[in-house]
Amino acid sequence: MGGTRFVGKALLGKLQEQGHDLTIFTRGVNSLPSNVRHIQGDRNGDEIEKLNGLKFDVIIDSSGRTKDQTKKVLDITGPPANRFLYVSSAGIYADSETLPLTEDSKVDLESRHIGKAETENWLRLSKVPFTSFRPTYIYGAGNYNPIEKWFFERILNDRPIPIPNEGNTITQLGHVNDLAEAMSLSLEKEVSNNRIYNCSGKKAITFRGLIYSSALACGKDPNDIKLFSFDPSKIDKKARKIFPLRLNHFFTDISLIENHLNWSPRIELNEGLRESFQNDYLINKNEKPDFSLDINLIGY
Q: Where along the chain do its domains lie?
A: 6-298
DSSP code of 47?
Answer: G
Distance CA 202, CA 257 (A): 11
Mean pLDDT, range 17-37, rounded to an integer: 89
- The pLDDT tens digits of the residues spanning 140-150 come to 989 989 899 99
What percentage of the chain carries pLDDT values higher than 90?
Answer: 84
Is residue 230 within 8 Å of 297, Cβ to Cβ? yes
The gap between the terminal CA atoms of the chain, to the nearest Å, is 43
The predicted pLDDT at position 2 comes to 85
- The pLDDT tens digits of the residues spanning 105-121 come to 999 999 999 999 999 99
Task: Decide if pLDDT at 34 tops 70.
Answer: yes
Return the closest-CA partner of residue 191 out of 133, 143, 131, 255: 131
Mean pLDDT, range 81-94, rounded to an integer: 97
Stronger pLDDT, 122 or 3, i.e. the higher one = 122
Return the closest-CA partner of residue 132 out of 179, 87, 188: 87
The predicted pLDDT at position 206 comes to 98
The predicted pLDDT at position 197 comes to 98
Task: Decide if pLDDT at 234 tops 80.
Answer: no
With cut-offs at 50, 70 and 90, classify the pLDDT of residue 300: confident
Is residue 174 within 8 Å of 136, Cβ to Cβ? yes
Task: Decide if pLDDT at 240 tops 70.
Answer: no
The predicted pLDDT at position 239 comes to 67
Fold of 6-298: Rossmann fold (3.40.50)
Task: Decide if pLDDT at 221 tops 70.
Answer: yes
Whats the size of the chain, residue-wise? 300
187-9-48 Cα angle (round to 5): 85
Distance CA 92, CA 198 (A): 11
Distance CA 147, CA 149 (A): 5
Mean pLDDT, range 164-177, rounded to an integer: 97
Is residue 144 within 8 Å of 6, Cβ to Cβ? yes
For residue 18, give every residue at least 6 positions away whose Cβ sits within 8 Å of its Cβ, in sequence order, or none.
184
Is residue 207 within 8 Å of 163, Cβ to Cβ? yes
Mean pLDDT computed over every residue of the chain? 94
